[in-house]
Amino acid sequence: MAELKEVDRLTKVCGNEAVLYDEKGLKEYVVDGKRPRVACFPDTIEKVCRIMEVVQRSHLLVIPRGGGTRVSLGALSSGYDMALCLQRLNAFVEHDAGNFSASAQAGMTLKDFQEQLKAKGQFLPLDPPFAERSTLGGITAANSWGPHRLLYGSARDLVIGIKAVLPGGNVISSGAKTAKQVAGYDLTKLFIGAIGTLGVIVEVGMRLVSLPEARATVTCRFSNLKEIREALRSPLLVRRRPAALAVVRHFAPAEKVWLIAISFVGIEEVVEESVGVAEGVFSQPPREAELLSDTQAAIFWEKIARLAVAGDDEVVLEVAVPIASTLGMISAVEKILALDRKKATLAAHPGLGIINIRFPFGEKGVEGTLDIIRRVRRLAHRRGGSVEIESAPAEVKDIINVWGTEPDGLDIMRRLKERFDPSGVLSPGRFVGRI
């Protein structure tokens, strides 16, 4: 339980109903096996500022939290006293439809944000999983993305401004209301993907696009990767610009085929023409392509996005290689997974050079898991790529670097951390070990 004086201070700021220090209730906010001593649920930016004053004064180690969909991301925290939960900070701030931009507080969910934009025929083209839970602040802090990143990009490409609270309670704003304004934009970039190590994001500005006239998804089952390689190299298909492209393999005993899916978004005539091309390229006897309904497509791409998020007792790796090396990397990884992990899943995005590998931890424990990670990393390094551990049990993270190798500019990262968080109270150790 948190010390009484800390609870009293936080209660004065937030009110009794917005401070949780019951040990049983705090189980929901465990990160990498560590349970906080207290959780706070502010509903205004002013309260976040006052909480951060208490944090600085009492040197509480804090992990900011949105919907909790990506809490497993990052290295092990060196300490965890408080979960700073921002779901109640969820107001819609502004929609400038003429300039294709909108802003909202960090706790607003992606689903609610999209509902606010729909009336003006616009949307935020991000499709990470769990839109009903994923918050704008969490998406920004994790640089989240989904299958349609191929066309639209990730959070790093769409966030145009942030407001954040630093330890001690100072507020900083960076970026602009429109994508054409660039003042302070680089400072905005620092917070994207920093998983809450520099400041608590409390408001986010986003670049929007028009709702597309048409969407379509075509899927097809292939017996092997050679056939997929030939299909993707078809001159007819290469000239098309898909919004998403995925290759999936489940290694369950009964599932011995590969599934390819391609999504087209845009003007109705162009989408229809692209669908016809994809169906013609994929449908080579005995294969038969399938055009999904809108409902089927939405469910399908959500499932693909969720393959990058671990369930209970699972490990998720994100492999990044040069785009031209993607299918070769898939082939190499397939041999490891088919041999060692019968319940594994591989979900690749060939147009991005990204492969997500998901497998159960319990089958071989720590040593077996470390062996898989090291083997996959060797394969990626040979191709000029890298492998990040998106999610893994704490005992695995305690042994191996989740990012693979120390990133370029590590000294600069350390100096930035010291500048924004000199006391080291925000998500300590989670972004880069020892920072």
- Hey, what domains does the chain have and what are their CATH numbers? 92-189+197-210 (3.30.465.10), 214-397 (3.40.462.10)
pLDDT band at residue 179 using 50, 70 and 90 as cut-offs: low
pLDDT at 176 over 70: no
Residue 417: its pLDDT value, please?
87
> Which of 379, 334, 385, 372 lies closest to 225 in space, CA to CA?
334
Enter the pTM of the model.
Answer: 0.93
Q: Quote the pLDDT of residue 434.
A: 44
Q: Which residues on adjacent β-strands are paired with residue 210?
A: 122
- Going by C-alpha positions, the residue among 270, 272, 293, 261 that lies closest to residue 148 is 261
Confirm if 163 and 200 have CB atoms less than 8 A apart: no
Residue 363: is its pLDDT beyond 90?
no
Q: How many helices (H) and strands (E) does the chain have?
A: 15, 19
> What size, in residues, is the chain?
435
Which string of DSSP letters, residue by residue, matches 281-326?
A: HH--TT---EEPPHHHHHHHHHHHHHTTS--TTEEEEEEE--GGGH
Helix (H, G, I), strand (E, B) or coil at 60: coil
* pLDDT at 416 (0 to 100): 86
Tokens of 115: 């509902």
Q: Specify the pLDDT at position 4.
A: 59
Confidence of residue 187 (pLDDT cuts 50, 70, 90): confident
Q: What is the mean pLDDT of the chain?
A: 91
User: How far is residue 261's CA from residue 349's CA, in Å, rounded to a whole number?
Assistant: 10
% residues pLDDT > 90 (the chain): 78
Nearest residue to 77 via CA among 200, 178, 191, 197: 197
What's residue 294's pLDDT?
96
pLDDT digits (tens, 9 = 90+) for 369-416: 999 999 999 999 999 999 999 999 999 999 999 998 766 667 787 888
Look at residue 177 and give its three-state secondary structure: coil
Which of the pair, 26 or 7, is modelled with greater confidence?
26
